[in-house]
Amino acid sequence: MSVYLNAFPLDLPDKELEVCVIPYDKEQLDLLRREHQTNNVFRRRGDNILIFSADGQYPISGEIEKFSLAENYGIFCFLVKDGLKRHLSDLNRFPIGFNPIELVSIKKQDDLLINIIGKDYPFNIFLKYKMDTRIITGTPCLVIDCSTRTKINKTCQYFLHKGFNLIDRFVVAEQDDGYRKLVGQIVAVDGEEIEVTSLDGGVEKIHADKIYLEASRKNFDDYISHTHASQRDAISEKIRRAISSFNGGENKDERINALKKYFQAKGISLIDGTRIEISDAQDVQTMCQQMEKPIFIFNDNGEADWAEKGFTQYGPYTKRTFDRNDPSICVVCAEHDKGRIEQFVRKFLKGISGHRYFGSGLEGKFGIGTSHIEVFTTKTDDVIGYKSAIEAAIQKKSEDGGRWDLALVQVRESYKKLDVIDNPYYVGKSLFFLHQVPVQDFTMELLSQADAYLGYSLNNMALSSYAKMGGVPWLLKSSPTLSHELVVGIGSANVGKGRGFDNQRIMGITTVFSGDGSYIVSNTSKAVTPDAYCDALTSVLEGTIEKIQKRMNWQKGDTIRLIFHASVKKFNKDEIQAVQAVIEKYRDYQIEYAFLKISENHGLHLFDTSSANEQKGRLAPSRGKTLKLSKYEMLIYLIGQRELKQTTDGHPRGVILSVHRDSTFKDIKYLSAQLYSFSSHSWRSYFPNPMPVTISYSDLIARNLGWLNKLPDWNDSIMIGKIGQSQWFL
């Protein structure tokens, strides 16, 4: 059995290239690239611009130097990608981008929609290749990946003639190089003249045959509804299956190797004509390792490596200390759905008879006693109807001299399309949170599931509800070390209309610490805009250290390890300096720290032949498979072959962990094992998470608080109360 990467070693020539070096100036660099890119290639390096030439002639005078390709991997990889792009451009293939280079097929046989809808449809789903270079275990490699890209082959004029509503849709204009650039959002249509609001707020009129609809999922789904209303769901499912199957391991591996063989036959020529050879992928099986399963801790310190098994044997961790037994639960639902909702809630609380994992329901599985339920109905499916029902629920419990332990709120999938102030989902959360009541929502669409499938959904829903009420389902066992650990997760969410219109990036922060041999998610929920993020990070860090040092009785001279997880960007100097400033305040301790970037979008895949004959996930590696890419990088699979649910699921995607070089703690194997364990520690689902809890919780905090802050009556101080000490965001 073998394991291969989609990374192909490049032959590194023992050769020097002449280069012209001039001082860096952005305007000059842009001008040189516009006017002299045919025979030259330009690269910024620090305070200089490097100019490489095809014929030894340079467009500007400068200092002439020689670079050894064997000693300058970065320059070598840059020139290889330049060679790739020139080769494709010479074939009139119009590659897009550089980091990575993207190439979308234009062959009809590579359009997945033809066999589903037909060849004359204005949308296409084409094969897309991504090509990049990467240094792997000290060797420069060409990385090739493939997936799909949705494209639109007709202008807005076509859609107008088909009677498709264009108002509020985003449009793009095609550039000379084939790239389609965002123009703005359609606000009015006058015949074939389209009025567009640009990102800067300006308004212009453009003829419909000059612009295209953005090839977004929304535009795609809406147009399928427009043309195939009665068949919409069936067609959407066929498309989903086609894309998932295309992204399966066997097809991905075959397509990648086909393009690799093409470049092996042609070679890659650098700007000076030097030909670079490409080798086949190496078998990295002996370099891979398999992580051990994490251990969970349950009631009476019972241990298990499978959460379901732990619940069956021991019960939840806080079984004896949970303070909301026999809980008061209110249900908010539509008046005309009350009967079906009552049946649904009973299954949620009492369980589904005979179901493997949810036979005893929330009450039995978590040992919380008998719930006291009261239903409050909405007369309308809008904010006014929900407000009325929620206010009635709050008033009723206030008169009884208590408060609800949990609110179950029925919503609809269609609410996702509403503005936040018109969205019963967010307005309902804000009203209940104001009165310190945790909310568990569920969709009407969920009720249509057969009991066999509904049980799995309710199992996860009960897990989240228990955590929201303040319960601890399990803890994650940590391996004893000589250090006290605090892990800070940094996530983000885009909140707004999208595509730059009133859009705002919100940063979320989660803290996890190791105490008494277990990892504990701290009750810190913080979300801020990027410009306030650095201050918030240091504030949360300082506050958490103060809280935990007292709780865990840290002693003078103890070693404290701070680990930072981020998925959205590289750690910059400001963040590192801010953390170092906090550390300076705790000189009584020995403090070490690690800054760890977690990346999903890297294009690397492992193909494991040991799963080649499996029914699902062929060539997929197992969960916990790792490959050390360099001293500071590790590829790790948090979802593997067994976690795929059906044969049409695509190839699982691993994450790359990158340790910042300014870190004082750099044990990447230790950090990888810890992160792998955190991917099993989410109380939102029993299934392993494709991201660690440090990131997934932070993303949820950012998204929820980001949207809630757009409500006129919302104030984050609400979260200071008891609601903020629970996992309210799950």
Q: Which of 141-155, 360-374, 520-534 has the lowest mean pLDDT?
A: 520-534
**Average pLDDT rounded to a whole number, residues 555-568:** 89
- The predicted pLDDT at position 525 comes to 63
Q: In terms of CATH architecture, what is 478-597+660-716? A: 2-Layer Sandwich (3.30)
Q: How confident is the model at residue 400 (pLDDT cuts 50, 70, 90)?
A: confident
- Residue 200, pLDDT > 90, answer no
**Average pLDDT rounded to a whole number, residues 683-711:** 91
- The predicted pLDDT at position 624 comes to 97
Encode pLDDT of 32-81 as tens digits. 999 998 999 999 999 999 999 999 899 999 999 998 999 999 999 999 99
- Residue 500, pLDDT > 90, answer no
- The predicted pLDDT at position 498 comes to 59
Q: Which of 175-179, 316-320, 498-502, 692-696 has the lowest mean pLDDT?
A: 498-502
- The predicted pLDDT at position 501 comes to 60
DSSP string computed for 302-341:
-EESSHHHHHHHT--TTTTT-S--S-EEEEEEEGGGHHHH
**Average pLDDT rounded to a whole number, residues 390-417:** 91
- The predicted pLDDT at position 27 comes to 93
- The predicted pLDDT at position 592 comes to 93
Give the whole-number percent of the chain exceeding pLDDT 70: 98
The pTM assigned to this predicted structure is 0.92
Could you tell me the residue ranges of all domains in the chain? 321-468, 478-597+660-716
Q: CB count, 10 Å around CB of 354? A: 10
- The predicted pLDDT at position 528 comes to 83
- The predicted pLDDT at position 162 comes to 94
- Residue 134, pLDDT > 80, answer yes
Encode pLDDT of 75-89 as tens digits. 999 999 999 999 999
- The predicted pLDDT at position 502 comes to 61
Query: H/E/C letters for each residue in 246-266?
Result: HCCHHHHHHHHHHHHHHHHHH
- Residue 568, pLDDT > 80, answer no
Encode pLDDT of 106-115 as tens digits. 888 889 999 8
Distance in angstroms (rounded) separating the CA atoms of residues 47 and 640: 44
Q: Which of 643, 661, 659 is nearest to 651 (CA)?
A: 643
Name, in order, each residue with C-beta under 8 angstroms of 136's C-beta and a sequence gap of 6 or more.
Answer: 5, 7, 629, 630
What pairing do the DSSP bridges indicate for beta strands 328-334 and 406-411? parallel
What length does the chain have?
730
Encode pLDDT of 237-293 as tens digits. 999 989 998 999 999 999 999 999 999 999 899 999 999 999 999 999 999 999 999
Return phi, psi of residue 663, to 5°. -65, 145
Tokens linked to 530: 């990027």
Distance in angstroms (rounded) separating the CA atoms of residues 112 and 130: 18
Residues paired with 704 in a beta bridge = none
Encode pLDDT of 369-395 as tens digits. 999 999 999 999 999 999 999 999 999
- Residue 517, pLDDT > 70, answer no
Encode pLDDT of 539-554 as tens digits. 888 888 888 888 888 8
Tokens linked to 337: 């759905």
- Residue 428, pLDDT > 90, answer yes
Average pLDDT, the chain: 91
Q: Which of 144-153, 166-175, 282-291, 717-726 has the lowest mean pLDDT?
A: 717-726
Encode pLDDT of 303-361 as tens digits. 999 999 999 899 999 999 998 999 999 999 999 999 999 999 999 999 999 999 999 99
- Residue 524, pLDDT > 70, answer no
**Average pLDDT rounded to a whole number, residues 433-444:** 94
Q: CB count, 10 Å around CB of 664? A: 13
Encode pLDDT of 601-644 as tens digits. 899 999 999 999 998 999 999 999 999 999 999 999 999 999 98
| CATH T-level topology, domain 321-468 | Rossmann fold (3.40.50)
| Helix intervals (H) in 146-248 | 156-161, 217-227, 232-246
Give CA torsion, residues 664, 670, 672, 674, to 10 deg: -110
